[in-house]
Amino acid sequence: MPSLKSLSQKKELLSGGHRLCPGCGASIIVRQILLAAENPVVGCGATGCLEVATTIYPFTAWKIPWIHNAFENAASTLSGVEAAYCALKRKGEIKEEIKFIAFAGDGGTYDIGIQALSGAMERGHNLLYICYDNEAYMNTGIQRSSATPRGANTTTSPVGKATPIGKERERKDLVEIMVAHNSPYVAQASPAYYNDLMKKVQKALSIKGPTFINIISPCPRGWRYEPSQSIQIAKLAVTSGFWPLYEVENGKYKITYRPRKRVPLIEWFKSQGRFKHLLEEENKKIVEEMQRRVDEKEKILLARAGEKP
Amino acid sequence: MGKILGLTGDEVAAEVIRQINPDVMAAYPITPQTEIVQGVSQFVADGLMSTEMVRVESEHSAMSACVGASAAGARAMTATSANGLALMWEIVYIAASLRLPIVMPVVNRALSGPINIHCDHSDSMGARDSGWIQLYSENCQEIYDNIIQAVRIAESKEVLLPVMVTFDGFIISHAMERVEILDDEEVKNFVGKYKNPYPLLDISNPVTYGPLDLYDYYFEHKRQQVEAMERTPEVIQKVGEKFAKISGRSYDLIEGYKLEDTDLVVVAAGSTAGTIKEVVDELREEGVKAGLLKIRCFRPFPVREIKEALKKAKAVAVLDRSASFGAEGGPLFLEIRSSLFEEAKKIPVVNYIYGLGGRDISIKQIRSVYQNLQRIAQTKEVGKLVDYLGVRE
Amino acid sequence: MKEKGWKDIPIGGLILEPGNAINYKTGSWRTFKPVRDEEKCTHCLLCWIYCPDSSIIVEDGKVKGIDYEHCKGCGICSTQCPVNAIKMIEEAKEG
């Protein structure tokens, strides 16, 4: 992995002037991904914060070829682009090595976009699918998605008398779903650990077949915290065990970063307004339950990776 | 040159797609289109086509993949029917707005519900505002000829719009007819090469497709689509003339059958036009001045050609193979009537909704339509404006 | 930017000029402005890799400055700087 110094000599492929919120995790993620890529990239975005804010006509922040089609079809649109590349390369009309990356939020990936994603994964296209997971439908006003964690306050899973913890259901484990699709490379990353993230992107791009990286994307607006804290929170997600950094290559699990000391989950909840109700006395048992669950999941992951707890 | 084969509508579509050999075909099976996808799959498997087949998991993904492929710079095709078209409805509009010249055979089948796999025009009529060019085929030969021309029409610089080539499900798609097939080379030369002026795969000129338009630009982008449709009729006619040179068969926006001195005209699209031609011949033998106006191009709607074709008529009946619930008649009727509104001479026009869900239409029933037209021409009384041909009361 | 008519814009909604968003000055969004102490700065480039708006200007591996035309004042650079070289100053009070 080249140093930050040498990476800084590369051309910046996402310009300033996009209209994402101050402190948005998504653009930090995109910048790191595009810096890591060694070949030219064609990007495909699903409707969502990133796509909308970077391409308000007549402006575009993208310095790579980019296509947005609709909300639920980043994977199928990119499948078409990749198929075109295969056809034209075979004809000798295109000589360059080009990489294909989809950028979609959890909405366009876990929920409305899951069919297209599943199809693309099963067909085996050569593409990398990036989910920037801000854990709700942020662009339309912070509505819950199946990636929203249990206990989060969103506009469609609000905290109220009948629902004291906000979202009742656990979030989906999409990484496991991707592993089950026989993807040759699936990983989870955080922009706070840029080296790990960029290494994973480079690895995914070097592997033939459909690859997937789930990246936590802190959202100051939706998660209710000061914009300057985005990277701190992206770090806390990892150190609290909520967002383990690992990769699965051809079914083989590997933990790519183990925090020296695990931070109690309550710290993760304390850092964001969307969890502040969990700090109430009546929700103590739920918090303990969630801590147990995170601990359990860590054990399972360690066992899969063949590591000792 | 070329050869004569006995092929069903789906087989013809598969054959012509083989000859066109698009770079990418992303399709999902749906009755009665399935034989097209299967036929193409076999051709690819046998090495007779170099097309990248994307076996998508739904029609929505089929059109999405075609959009991606076409924007990338490849020639992309798909095919569908009924609910498949309904499922890709969102993307069908987007494909037209992105000005991508995708060609798609639509095997006309009724939209659910209840679920029905047989022929009517509710699917393609439902997409008439999508911005796609729509060509209706009467028989297997027309499927072949229309699809070849569609590629040229779609990719013309003045047009750059996607084209739907429709043909009746089961009636034509599964019926074997005599078809004249051109040489592979002739088809290849006629369709030429697709040149997208702004391909995604041109990495030295990065472009952005599909931005967000606020209220300050959306209207302008839509106005451009209107402009493209307005330039299309001339292109369709030019391509029709060029096609005549290689095939001996000429095509225009409409087809008039025995319209030169006609009193009574029936307007229709699709396979029923063929049945009507039989009735027209019978009636002419009996001394009745009957004629048929066949609509080949429904979008853009050929107003000028229709006015010209109907100017001598004394009474007109429009047959619609789809209903527009809540409207005063079917879509074809409403547009024909609207085209004639400005004319000095008022011609009575009536509507028959027929054939929904594959309900057959007989020679006898068509004769009854002409009988009604005779009555209207004599008495000047329209009587029932909209009637339903063949439904059990 | 004066709005163009339908005859003067590319068809299909295409945007042909990559990265022209640079012409949209998001710097006006700021309340707080990052100010970097040249002396303290070790050019570790963490601020650069974490900036959401590509607004840390780096030349020859060294931080040259901040693109105040686009910086939104989120403060991530300030919180992530390992040597506290960046302070967030309230722009209105800057004088």
Write out pLDDT tens, residues B314-373: 999 999 999 999 999 999 999 999 999 999 999 999 999 999 999 999 999 999 999 999
Which of B70, B160, B198 best probes binding to C when mutated, by most C CB atoms within 10 angstroms? B198
Cβ-defined contact of B99 to C12 (cutoff 8 Å): yes
| pLDDT number for residue C10 | 97
Under CATH, what is the fold of the domain A15-305? Rossmann fold (3.40.50)
| pLDDT number for residue C2 | 81
Q: Which helix (H) or strand (E) holds A212?
A: strand A210-216
Residue B69 CB neighbours (<10 A): 35
What does the pLDDT average to over B64-82?
A: 98
- Picking from A278, A33, A123, A52, the residue whose alpha carbon sits closest to that of residue B65 is A123
More confident residue, C35 or C1: C35
What does the pLDDT average to over A174-190?
A: 97
> What are the two backbone dihedrals, phi and then psi, of residue C51, each rounded to the nearest 5 degrees?
-75, 125
- Nearest-CB residue to A60 (from C1, C19, C61): C19
Sign of CA dihedral A146, A147, A151, A153: negative
A275 Cα to chain B: minimum distance (Å): 32
pLDDT band at B97 (very low <50, low <70, confident <90, very high): very high
Asked if A84 reaches chain C (Cβ–Cβ under 8 Å), the answer is: no
CATH class name, domain C27-94: alpha beta
List Cβ neighbours of A145 (8 Å cut-off, separation of 6 or more). Answer: A106, A107, A110, A111, A135, A136, A137
- Is the CB of residue A271 less than 8 Å from the CB of residue A233? yes
Cβ-defined contact of A25 to C61 (cutoff 8 Å): no
Counted residue by residue, chain B has a size of 393
Give CA–CA dist B160/B103, Å, rounded: 11
- Is the CB of residue B55 less than 8 Å from the CB of residue A112? no
What does the pLDDT average to over A171-198?
A: 97
| Residue A54: pLDDT over 70 | yes
The DSSP bridge partners found for residue C86 are: C36
- Is the CB of residue B307 less than 8 Å from the CB of residue B343? yes
pLDDT band at B2 (very low <50, low <70, confident <90, very high): confident
The DSSP bridge partners found for residue B180 are: B4
Encoding tokens for residue B312? 């001598």
- Picking from B131, B192, B128, B194, the residue whose alpha carbon sits closest to that of residue B166 is B128
Pairing of strands B349-354, B386-389: parallel
pLDDT band at A308 (very low <50, low <70, confident <90, very high): confident
Residue A139, helix vs strand vs coil:
coil
pLDDT band at A309 (very low <50, low <70, confident <90, very high): confident
Asked if B197 reaches chain C (Cβ–Cβ under 8 Å), the answer is: no
- Is the CB of residue A237 less than 8 Å from the CB of residue A268? yes
Q: How is chain C split into domains, by residue range?
A: 27-94
pLDDT band at B1 (very low <50, low <70, confident <90, very high): low
C21 Cα to chain B: minimum distance (Å): 12
| Residue B96: pLDDT over 90 | yes
**To the nearest 10°, the Cα dihedral for B72, B75, B76, B79?**
170
Residue B383 burial (C-beta neighbours within 10 Å; 0-12, 13-18, 19+): exposed
Q: How is chain A split into domains, by residue range?
A: 15-305
pLDDT in tens, A66-75: 999 999 999 9
Encoding tokens for residue A301? 């992951």
| Residue A106: pLDDT over 90 | yes
Asked if B161 reaches chain C (Cβ–Cβ under 8 Å), the answer is: no
Give CA–CA dist B369/B352, Å, rounded: 8
**To the nearest 10°, the Cα dihedral for C62, C68, C74, C80?**
10
Residue B60, helix vs strand vs coil:
helix
Q: Which helix (H) or strand (E) holds B240?
A: helix B218-247
List Cβ neighbours of B338 (8 Å cut-off, separation of 6 or more). Answer: none
Residue A298 burial (C-beta neighbours within 10 Å; 0-12, 13-18, 19+): middle
pLDDT in tens, A191-247: 999 999 999 999 999 999 999 999 999 999 999 999 999 999 999 999 999 999 999
Helices B140-155 + B218-247 axis angle, to 10: 130
pLDDT in tens, C47-89: 999 999 999 999 999 999 999 999 999 999 999 999 999 999 9
- Nearest-CB residue to B76 (from A57, A80, A82): A80
| Residue B57: pLDDT over 90 | yes
- Nearest-CB residue to A60 (from C21, C26, C52): C21
Q: Which helix (H) or strand (E) holds B8?
A: strand B3-8
Pairing of strands B52-54, B24-26: parallel
pLDDT in tens, B46-55: 999 999 999 9
Give CA–CA dist A277/A153, Å, rounded: 8
CA neighbours within 13 Å on the CB side: how many for A143? Answer: 8
- Is the CB of residue A305 less than 8 Å from the CB of residue A253? yes
More confident residue, C93 or A100: A100
Residue A57, helix vs strand vs coil:
coil
What's the predicted TM-score (pTM) here? 0.97
- Average per-residue pLDDT in chain A? 97
Amino acid letter at B218? Answer: Y
Give CA–CA dist A62/A64, Å, rounded: 5
> What are the two backbone dihedrals, phi and then psi, of residue A275, each rounded to the nearest 5 degrees?
-115, 5
Establish whether this prediction's ipTM goes over 0.85.
yes
| pLDDT number for residue C95 | 56
Q: Which domains does chain B have, with CATH numbers?
A: 3-247 (3.40.50.970), 254-389 (3.40.50.920)
Residue A149, helix vs strand vs coil:
coil
| pLDDT number for residue C1 | 63
Give CA–CA dist A110/A125, Å, rounded: 19
C39 Cα to chain A: minimum distance (Å): 19
Rg (CA), chain B: 21
- Picking from B117, B114, B55, B58, the residue whose alpha carbon sits closest to that of residue B82 is B117
What does the pLDDT average to over C17-38?
A: 97
pLDDT band at C93 (very low <50, low <70, confident <90, very high): confident
Q: What percent of chain B has pLDDT over 70?
A: 100
Encoding tokens for residue B197? 């002026």
Asked if B198 reaches chain A (Cβ–Cβ under 8 Å), the answer is: no
What does the pLDDT average to over B111-137?
A: 98
- Nearest-CB residue to C18 (from A35, A60, A232): A60
Report the b/e string of A174-210 with b at 16+ CB within 10 A: bbebbbebebbbbbbbbbbbbebbbbbbbbbbebebb
Give CA–CA dist A200/B257, Å, rounded: 67
- Average per-residue pLDDT in chain B? 97
Q: What percent of chain A has pLDDT over 70?
A: 100
The DSSP call for residue B35 is: H
The DSSP bridge partners found for residue A85 are: none
Give CA–CA dist A54/B169, Å, rounded: 44
Asked if B342 reaches chain C (Cβ–Cβ under 8 Å), the answer is: no
Give CA–CA dist A155/A144, Å, rounded: 7
Q: Which helix (H) or strand (E) holds B164?
A: strand B163-168
| Residue A185: pLDDT over 80 | yes
Residue A270, helix vs strand vs coil:
helix
